[in-house]
């Protein structure tokens, strides 16, 4: 192993540095709090390894400006924030953390389901104004309701287990069904259309790809049962947010629990308050996001479904393993580049 190979870690939070340094003995590391961007790319210097998280949009331009980088280690499962084509062309390996938060994200998804079904968002807003009345706060039981899980992978299967523990009937849609799993866990695989028309609660657990862009669009929202709840802890662009807002305002959709929405980075960065998005579409996303955040039947969280102490430890440990393995010539969890 080249023990002095420089590693630069972007989006480094307090407390993470010690764990990564301990897991990378003898490896020179530098930690940068900011995202990797045009403004911070000079921090890469002569580094051969860069580690990022999901808010760093690693574009072709950035990739071409990092002359010595040979590994981009994302501390996430998803990698749609990295231009894989540009990495492939330049012989840069991209590694990810394939599994770390299956139970973590599933638990957060169910916290959103419970909060919506018992109207906790409305309750907390009322109580903050000293209103303890019960009018309009009647909730609904989950027992005997139908839960529709779109994407029965690692996270989706945890959601299914929790749903069954609540006494829910569970339907699942997945591109690669496993009938034995369905039999053991007590759920049924169905088509996406049947899931949408039959479920009281629909939760999304599929990756974002071009073919899943706006998987839940206006037509599919219209297919859902009146009063159904929609949960998204996967990727914002799986849902057409403008159509979602229409479905909520018309009363057709009973509520939405969203950990991710289109254009979420515009809402999350304070500087965007003074920054006009560069396109009409980006402006639409920003305005729709603000409208969703204020809607009575929406609970919006800031892309934090993955954010537990235990999950972060797992992320850091696997990222360090990916870096050590790459530096020793035996890459792990590689998704692009010469070794992918």
Q: Which residues participate in catalysis according to the annotation?
A: 235, 264, 303
Strand partners, 232: 204, 258
């Amino acid at each position: 192993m080249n023990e002095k190979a420089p590693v630069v870690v972007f989006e480094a939070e307090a407390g993470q540095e010690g764990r990564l340094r301990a897991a990378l003995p003898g490896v020179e590391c530098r930690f940068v709090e900011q995202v990797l961007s045009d403004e911070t790319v000079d921090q890469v210097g002569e580094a051969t390894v860069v580690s990022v998280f999901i808010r760093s949009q690693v574009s072709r331009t950035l990739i071409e400006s990092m002359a010595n980088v040979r590994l981009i280690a994302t501390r996430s499962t998803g990698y749609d924030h990295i231009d894989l084509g540009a990495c492939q062309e330049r012989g840069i390996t991209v590694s990810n953390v394939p599994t770390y938060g299956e139970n973590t994200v599933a638990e957060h998804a169910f916290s959103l389901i419970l909060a919506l079904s018992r109207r906790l968002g409305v309750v907390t807003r009322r109580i903050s104004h000293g209103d303890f009345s019960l009018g309009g706060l009647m909730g609904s039981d989950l027992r005997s309701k139908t839960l529709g899980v779109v994407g029965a992978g690692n996270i989706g299967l945890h959601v299914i287990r929790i749903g069954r523990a609540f006494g829910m009937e569970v339907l699942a849609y997945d591109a690669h069904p496993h009938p034995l799993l369905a039999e053991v866990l007590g759920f049924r695989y169905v088509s996406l259309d049947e899931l949408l028309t039959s479920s009281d609660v629909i939760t999304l657990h599929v990756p974002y790809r071009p073919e899943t862009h706006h998987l839940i669009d206006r037509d599919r929202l219209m297919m859902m049962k009146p009063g159904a709840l929609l949960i998204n802890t996967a990727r914002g662009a799986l849902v057409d947010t403008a159509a979602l807002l229409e479905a909520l305002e018309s009363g057709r959709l009973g509520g939405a629990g969203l950990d991710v929405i289109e254009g979420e980075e515009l809402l999350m960065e304070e500087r965007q308050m003074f920054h006009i998005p560069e396109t009409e579409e980006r402006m639409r996303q920003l305005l729709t996001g603000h409208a969703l955040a204020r809607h009575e039947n929406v609970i919006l969280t800031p892309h934090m479904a993955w954010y537990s102490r235990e999950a972060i430890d797992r992320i850091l440990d696997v990222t360090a393993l990916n870096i050590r393995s790459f530096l020793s010539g035996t890459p792990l969890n590689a998704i692009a580049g010469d070794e992918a």
